[in-house]
């Protein structure tokens, strides 16, 4: 090899090294197990990635994330499970107020007070009636609304104070149901200022011949919507389970003067509550209106169908521990409760047959037999 050839070969080799330093196809080609550009395979392997030990900082960060996740699971896991149990049968609660609404404060309706939103449907005389009872063992008062299941329009509202029981007589059928709960009552349009609305999934069914009993119990005493609800049906008391026959005691007699409308009226008391009775010899049982029964503290009533001059009517039968007419006192006495009675109370034949009845010149005298 001559000197010229040697110099040429040396220059060509230097140029080839320069090209390899600028571009190496093996760094971009990739193959099975090869690492990305900038990483080298370990000697004696074909493209396998060497096991690089994790840094202490990265290892500590991973353990910190795991420990934090376990802590959150133990803290909130049981609470989430309790919430699922508590709201079984209840739709999620909705706040009653938004910031742009104004509250007009008012007194909470009396226990047992009924709000008739649709009297044409809830006071019909051509259908059977059934009993509805709500026992509120929650820490907050509630107002329960029966609604049209098709439109959701409220039909009847029933106010039940905390720790109290209230009843209503409603036409037989299926109803939607939502409950307003809270402590600061505004009005019937807005409900409670600090409360919530809870929709009851499936509503409630009023069946002929039985009373639907809804029992509310607290699951979270700090929240108005923190309650559970249970539904059961109570059948009327059988005649064999009825108490002993009532007795009537009292001195003298009571004179009743006939009024211009042709009726006789007697002043009396039911469980200590003043009541005016209209004498009705066509009534089998002494009868109270629904409002009179509530004011008298009657909180248990068995559904019953009565045969009236206008056809069958649905009401309920209850026991009165003490009833007084003039100087006569009756104890453990059975009365009927009717939802659409036009007067406060009727004095029926179950009382009249225990008294001597004399009528002369527009005066009716009642005395002990």
pLDDT of 60-108, one tens digit each? 888 888 877 777 666 555 443 333 333 335 555 555 544 445 677 778 8
Residues 230 and 265 in one domain: no
pLDDT of residue 39: 40
Residues 246 and 231 in one domain: no
Identify whether 249 is part of a domain. Answer: yes
The per-residue pLDDT for range 12-58, each reduced to its tens digit, is 777 666 555 555 555 545 444 444 444 444 444 444 444 555 567 77
Can you spell out the DSSP letters for 71-106? HHHHHHHHHHHHHHHHTTTBPPPEES--TT------
Q: pLDDT at residue 242 above 70?
A: no
- pTM higher than 0.85: no
Dig out the tokens for 97 from the structure: 């107020």
Residues 166 and 264 in one domain: no
Q: What is the mean pLDDT of residues 286-297?
A: 89
Q: pLDDT at residue 170 above 70?
A: yes
pLDDT of residue 147: 94
Instruction: Quote the mean pLDDT of the chain.
Output: 76
Q: Model confidence at 182, in pLDDT bands (50, 70, 90)? A: very high
User: Within 13 Å and on the Cβ side, how many CA atoms surround 139?
Assistant: 11
Can you spell out the DSSP letters for 219-232? S-TTSTT-EEEEEE
The 3-class secondary structure across 126-159, one letter per residue, is: CCCEEEEEEEEECCCCEEEEEECCCCCCEEEEEE
CATH number of the domain bearing residue 222: 2.60.40.2890
Q: pLDDT at residue 146 above 90?
A: yes
pLDDT of residue 143: 94
Q: Model confidence at 350, in pLDDT bands (50, 70, 90)? A: confident
User: Within 13 Å and on the Cβ side, how many CA atoms surround 181?
Assistant: 26
- C-alpha distance from residue 320 to each of 222, 228, 238, 352 (Å): 37, 31, 17, 16
Neighbours of 28 (CB within 10 A): 9
- The conformational region for residue 30 under phi > 0 = left, psi -120 to 50 = alpha, else beta, is left
Q: pLDDT at residue 221 above 80?
A: yes
Task: Go through the chain and tell me how many residues it has.
Answer: 369
Rounded Cα gap, residues 197 and 199, in angstroms: 7
CATH number of the domain bearing residue 254: 2.40.70.10
pLDDT of residue 161: 92
Q: pLDDT at residue 360 above 70?
A: yes
Residues 169 and 184 in one domain: yes
Identify whether 264 is part of a domain. Answer: yes
- C-alpha distance from residue 297 to each of 86, 88, 237, 293, 322 (Å): 31, 32, 19, 7, 11
pLDDT of residue 100: 47
Q: Model confidence at 144, in pLDDT bands (50, 70, 90)? A: very high
> Residue 72: which of 83, 84, 80 has the closest Cα?
80
Identify whether 80 is part of a domain. Answer: no
- Structural domain boundaries, residue 263: 241-368
Residues 231 and 330 in one domain: no
3-state helix, strand, coil in the chain (%, to 5): 20, 40, 40
Identify whether 307 is part of a domain. Answer: yes
Identify whether 225 is part of a domain. Answer: yes
Rounded Cα gap, residues 96 and 182, in angstroms: 10
Residues 151 and 198 in one domain: yes
> Residue 215: which of 233, 198, 199 has the closest Cα?
233
Element (H, E) at 212: strand 211-218
Identify whether 316 is part of a domain. Answer: yes
CA angle 318, 207, 93 (to 5 degrees): 100
Lowest mean pLDDT: which of 163-167, 201-205, 251-255? Answer: 251-255
Q: Are the C-beta atoms of 332 and 321 separated by less than 8 Å? A: yes
Look at residues 235, 257, 276 and tell me which one is the last residue of a structural domain: 235
Identify whether 344 is part of a domain. Answer: yes
């Amino acid at each position: 090899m001559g000197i010229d050839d040697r110099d040429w070969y040396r220059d060509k080799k230097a140029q080839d090294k320069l090209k390899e330093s600028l571009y190496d196809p093996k760094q971009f080609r990739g193959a099975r197990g090869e690492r990305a550009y900038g990483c080298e395979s370990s000697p004696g392997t074909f493209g396998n990635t060497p096991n690089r030990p994790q840094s202490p900082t990265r290892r500590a960060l991973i353990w910190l994330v795991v420990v934090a996740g376990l802590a959150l699971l133990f803290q909130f896991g049981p609470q989430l499970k309790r919430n699922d149990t508590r709201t079984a049968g209840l739709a999620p609660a909705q706040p009653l107020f938004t910031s742009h609404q104004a509250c007009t404060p008012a007194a909470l309706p009396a226990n047992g007070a009924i709000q008739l939103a649709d009297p044409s449907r809830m006071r019909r005389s051509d259908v059977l009636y059934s009993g509805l009872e709500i026992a509120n063992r929650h820490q907050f008062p509630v107002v329960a609304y029966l609604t049209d299941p098709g439109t959701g329009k409220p039909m009847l509202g029933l106010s039940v104070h905390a720790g109290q029981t209230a009843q209503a007589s409603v036409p037989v059928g299926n109803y939607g149901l939502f409950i307003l709960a809270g402590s600061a009552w505004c009005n019937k349009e807005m409900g409670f200022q600090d409360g919530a609305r809870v929709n009851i999934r499936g509503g409630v069914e009023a069946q002929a011949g039985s009373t639907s009993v809804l029992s509310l119990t607290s699951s979270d005493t700090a929240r108005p919507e923190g309650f559970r609800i249970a539904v059961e049906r109570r059948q009327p008391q059988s005649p064999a389970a009825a108490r002993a026959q009532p007795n009537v005691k009292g001195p003298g007699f009571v004179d009743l003067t006939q009024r211009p409308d042709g009726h006789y009226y007697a002043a009396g008391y039911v469980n200590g509550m003043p009541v005016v009775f209209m004498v009705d010899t066509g009534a089998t049982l002494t009868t109270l209106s629904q409002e009179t029964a509530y004011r008298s503290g009657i909180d248990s009533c068995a559904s019953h169908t009565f045969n009236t001059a206008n056809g069958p009517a649905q009401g309920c039968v209850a026991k009165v521990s003490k009833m007084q007419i003039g100087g006569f006192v009756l104890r453990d006495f059975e009365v009927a409760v009717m939802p659409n009675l036009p007067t406060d109370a009727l004095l029926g034949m179950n009382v009249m047959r225990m008294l001597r009845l004399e009528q002369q010149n527009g005066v009716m005298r009642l005395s002990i037999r």
